[in-house]
A and B are shown apart, each in its own frame.
Chain A
């Protein structure tokens, strides 16, 4: 008798009174749930899409802004909008680019960002609904496989200055923000560059991704005084493939993202990166990237140490409004 009562209670609880959500329908394409008292879009996105940051994506398909117990939520399990284009415009992902950092305000310059300014910028992102995503999430967005959260931003740092480790990294960790550091091996282990030990420590942190910025940081456009095709190709190969060998040796894996030194690219270099199974390559042409951006010539916006806070806000180009009805 006691067992029967217990079974009845379980049914009752599962049907009516749970603090967790109740599934109304479930298929390959969609799940529909009734929210429990503790549910948020983020918790449902974590549960069904494997990424809490995609809460804003769920909100797109549901009329209610805030969930309450009993709110009915449609969860598209496949990306219903592979291009990120909507009737009122299209989504873009800005990729920010930093170089050096300093803890001394008087030492900031165009390429050196003061720690206080950097902290203010990161705080602005955290407090204003921006979602800092790892750069690796951009490729599935470009392929239409995975949506990006609204107001998604990626952070990259070029060259491999030690000041990243000492100044920027602790700030990024404080906010739980992912970043990608593009290093060039010739710079590592000397002067103001990171040591390989520091690179390894960073690489072990899931919030940090170490990627390639060539071997020597030479411009990879054809030499302006002219350069034979074979000589040029060999030069490119050395810059790309040697870096991969070094990274494999030091970190146990090659790179799959590339930042063009000085933003200088060429069709030959793009082909070489494709051959070497790179997934994305980044310029320094400013602006956000739509889902239909070309993956080997992505835009990236430099954040200068002497730029104003308003300029930083303008860089956050997350959505291009335009009437497409």
Chain B
């Protein structure tokens, strides 16, 4: 990764909208490179000229009181495991120590679960999972499926994986909840294409890119999509989850127009 690649990417996507979701390697580059970070902030500031030009009317006089009374009523904020973990990881000096604890705890957890319940641990819980959980809760708010998702998370036998758009449509995103009791995956996606002629398919692939199963994603008029897909009983064969645009609903393999893709994080001890 270098500055040229970063700026070329920025110039390509800067016109797409204000929320420039950086691919992982580009994000890491701008963390390390001050000039590229300044360039990214410059594009964000360019988009933010639009709200800045709006007529600024003063808020009603009691708005500040209402907001801060609400904050005080809620404080101290109920800190979840995910927020505690997240704040730990903001503190660089403590990060390594926490990571060591987390790795040790993770190994113990894996040993315990493998010993007690067998290989029923598809996605080991880590700090990253906790952050993903927070993001998933946001997603659940968005599609008003919080009850279903919360009950899914309350079940230790259900795991999930998130899928992020490979393109530059910032909000195209999806989650596959994995139910290893019923051997079914529940996919939810949002901001998917709503055109009637656009077919979106979900695919599960093994390591050789062979298709294990597929399902058509049903999409409503608001771009919210859902699908239930059969999962293999032997979870270890599952390697990748793909969402693609297709012309033919009977397609047997994903087309080249892949929209979302995620490697399944299998780490069998």
Q: Is the A/B pair a real complex?
A: no
Chain A residues close to B by CB (< 8 Å): none
Query: Chain B interface (Cβ within 8 Å of chain A)?
Result: none
